[in-house]
Amino acid sequence: MKKYALLSVSDRTGLPELAAALHAAGFVLLATSGTGKGLDEAKVPWTSVESYTGLAELLDGRVKTLHPKIHGGILARRDLEQHLAQMESAEIGPIDVVVVNLYPFIKYLGTERARDPLEMTELVDVGGPTMIRAAAKNHRFVLPLIDPSDYPEVISLLSGAKKEKGDPFSLDLRRRLAAKVFAALSQYDGAIASYFAGLAAGSGDQSGLPAGFKLSLSRQAELRYGENPHQAAALYSVDSPSLPLIDGPKWQQLGGKELSYNNMLDFDAALRLLADLPAGKPTVAILKHLNPCGVASGRDVTDAIQRAKRCDPRSHFGGVLVSNTAIDRAAAEEIRGDFAEIVIAPGFAPEALETLKTSKNLRILQVSGAPLKGYDVRTVAGGLLVQEPDIASSLVAQASLASPRTPTDEELSDLDLAWRIVRHVKSNAIVLVRDGLLVGVGAGQMSRIDSVELAIRKAKLHGHLLNGAVAASDAFFPFPDSVETLAEAGVSCIVSPGGARRDDEVKAVAAEKQVSLFFAERRHFRH
């Protein structure tokens, strides 16, 4: 009895080699017209689906593989006599290998083409998912192939089968390939469902949150451990952009121990902060436990590192250092002078890398300059929270002056830096900046005045002058006591969101203390 392999692909990667191996192994190759052209180019014999079924393609190719001779050949159980008898009666041959990949619907999400629902509708595959799902269901007898990266293994097994009789494909391989098919179909259908849900909600540009979505994830890396050493953890990447999660720079680890769960959280926080800092001059930030404890620009990257360390000399030890400028030898020596967990930069000079690698525990991460984008997702009891990320810059220049005193240009420059930093501090958040240097941080306190007092205390502890310093608050002041305390410490300029019931009292205290007070339209809680 003849044995058949069905080929219908939109991605011809590896097709000539696979087709040649199948032909050499004695398979009759059934192919759709588009795939057949690729086989002609590869000079591999093939039989058209329409000549095999006796039915020409209909409706501009929409109907070509939806035929009993195709699906009977795929779905028949070879261990049931009644199935075999029905196949023989209907002149249906066994299709033992199904090679299919799907119309590239996912490829065009997020592109200009996605703005045209009619074009996207034409990219919704029907025959492909039907065939490959049938093959995956009947994987004990039919090998389902949806991913070209699996072709080499199959080719190798086919070549070995010439020497040894019997089925070249193990049940383990069949199950693994079937699982890949079902995962790919779930991803594909989820992307389509989310796209059309977005259209139905009136957000055809995909900017709104859909009524429903599916996530398909692949394990990218096993992490050393979770938040604590007794917890297992892994990093997963999102296969489908049906709901694009936060994505950003591509990165690679150049040295140091494997990353842990906490390392990845620190890495994410560092990238978010760096994306918000002003470009154009070497800038370095140091973070501890997801909060910035040092931020500074400098003449060069070494100067920026030295200034960032001065922000909080006690806390920077064991921190995460992120630079918007490539690390040279001098900067590497400066980093090596103290213990750091991670160093992140867009590049490393060879001699700098050599220096940093002498610290075996230091994780060295190189990142590209791609901006952050996508949605934030967090797990909670009972489900997921999804939100648009807080990555669109809200500048001090967009805030309104709410007190009589006019700030100096230097104060405005410092205030801009403070406002960029405060959104990356755990709420309640207060940030103090003076002369382009982060001098005090109050983070995660239960009341805003506690954060104010903590920021002031830390600044004084490290010898930073506060006369002429500026302050940023991530949310409004519920009472005027915070502004009063900041003013008495020497702070001359403050920015915070407005909207509190006591805004008028806060403005009155700012006017009395001769403090320039700005109200911004947005708040920047970070829980």
pLDDT band at residue 380 under the 50/70/90 scheme? confident
From the CB of residue 379, how many other CB atoms can be counted at a distance below 10 Å?
Answer: 8
Lookup: tokens for 24: 């050499």
Q: How far apart are the first and last CA of the chain?
A: 66
Whether 162 is catalytic = no
Q: Say what percent of the chain tops pLDDT 90.
A: 42
Q: What type of residue sits at position 43?
A: K
In this predicted structure, which of 68-72, 259-263, 461-465 has the lowest mean pLDDT?
68-72
Contacts 24+ apart (CB under 8 A), 237-240: 239/183, 239/187, 240/106, 240/187, 240/188, 240/190, 240/191, 240/214, 240/215, 240/216
Residue 206 has pLDDT above 50, yes or no: no
Q: Are 455 and 430 in contact (CB under 8 A)?
A: yes
Half-sphere exposure of 103 (CA within 13 A, CB side): 19
Is the peptide bond between 324 and the residue preceding it cis, with omega within 30 degrees of 0?
no
Residue 26 has pLDDT above 90, yes or no: no
Half-sphere exposure of 145 (CA within 13 A, CB side): 28
Can you give the pLDDT at residue 58? 67
In this predicted structure, which of 69-78, 213-222, 326-335, 351-360 has the lowest mean pLDDT?
213-222
Can you give the pLDDT at residue 205? 46
- Among residues 83, 289, 357, 373, the one annotated as catalytic is 289
If 0-12 CB within 10 Å is exposed, 13-18 middle and 19+ buried, where does residue 118 land?
A: exposed
Q: Are 52 and 7 in contact (CB under 8 A)?
A: no
For 248-290, the pLDDT digits (tens) are: 667 889 988 888 899 889 988 988 888 888 777 899 999 999 9
Whether 464 is catalytic = no
Bridge partners of residue 288, in order along the sequence = 291
If 0-12 CB within 10 Å is exposed, 13-18 middle and 19+ buried, where does residue 68 land?
A: exposed
Q: Which of 472, 474, 481, 476 is nearest to 503 (CA)?
A: 476
Residue 487 has pLDDT above 50, yes or no: yes
In this predicted structure, which of 369-373, 392-396, 427-431 has the lowest mean pLDDT?
369-373
Query: What's the rounded mean pLDDT across residues 314-342?
Result: 89
SS3 letters for 123-145? Answer: CCCCHHHHHHHHHHHCCCCCEEE
Looking at residue 327, the DSSP 8-state letter turns out to be B
- Among residues 3, 83, 107, 137, the one annotated as catalytic is 137
Lookup: tokens for 466: 């506060």
Q: Are 50 and 57 in contact (CB under 8 A)?
A: yes
Lookup: tokens for 72: 């009977």
Q: Which residue is associated with the tokens 């999660």?
A: 245
Which are the contacts of 417, defined by CB distance < 8 A and separation ≥ 6?
A: 277, 278, 295, 433, 436, 438
Query: Sign of the C-alpha dihedral, residues 435, 437, 439, 441?
Result: positive
Lookup: tokens for 332: 């590497």
Q: Which residue is associated with the tokens 């080699």?
A: 17
Can you give the pLDDT at residue 220? 83
Q: Are 333 and 313 in contact (CB under 8 A)?
A: no
pTM: 0.73
Strands 516-520 and 400-401: antiparallel
Q: Which of 70, 41, 227 is nearest to 135 (CA)?
A: 70
pLDDT band at residue 343 under the 50/70/90 scheme? very high
Q: How far apart are CA 256 and CA 353, in angstroms?
A: 11
